[in-house]
Amino acid sequence: MHNVAMFIFVLLAILLLVVFWQYILAGLGLWVLVLIMRAVINWTLADPKPNYPRKPVQTRPVAKPVTTRPEPKSKPARELPAPDYLPRWTANRRLDAGREHAQWQKKFDNAAQ
């Protein structure tokens, strides 16, 4: 049984070679032609290796991790105002601001009429 399968396989391979011999030869010829063309291009058209040392491509330097907080160079020209001077947005102040805005809006709408 094994010999029969092997015989059929060999007959099929021979049949394929007989039928497609032209395509097989054309493929081999193209392969050899490409190899020859690549060799000719490498020998004639390709740039020869430079005889001077090439500089490496310059890349960005690696950032160094910051380990300590930098100290301020100089003091500001004038100090910040005292905390008592700064306005505080309390609930009452927000309410007053809302009321002032409503009054302004009412005056604006009346003036537009």
DSSP 53-99: PPPPPP-PPPPPPP-SPPPPSS--SSPPPPTTTS----HHHHHHHHH
Q: Does 36 map to a domain?
A: yes
Q: Does 65 map to a domain?
A: no
- Number of structural domains the chain divides into: 1
Q: What is the DSSP letter of 50?
A: P
Confidence check: pLDDT of 15 > 90 = yes
Give the pTM: 0.36
Q: Does 23 map to a domain?
A: yes
pLDDT at 34: 96
Q: Does 78 map to a domain?
A: no
* Domain interval for residue 15: 2-44
Q: Does 91 map to a domain?
A: no
pLDDT at 54: 80
Cα–Cα distance for residue pair 35/29, rounded to 1 Å: 10
The number of residues in the chain equals 113
Confidence check: pLDDT of 86 > 60 = no
Q: Does 19 map to a domain?
A: yes
Cα–Cα distance for residue pair 91/93, rounded to 1 Å: 5
Q: Does 8 map to a domain?
A: yes
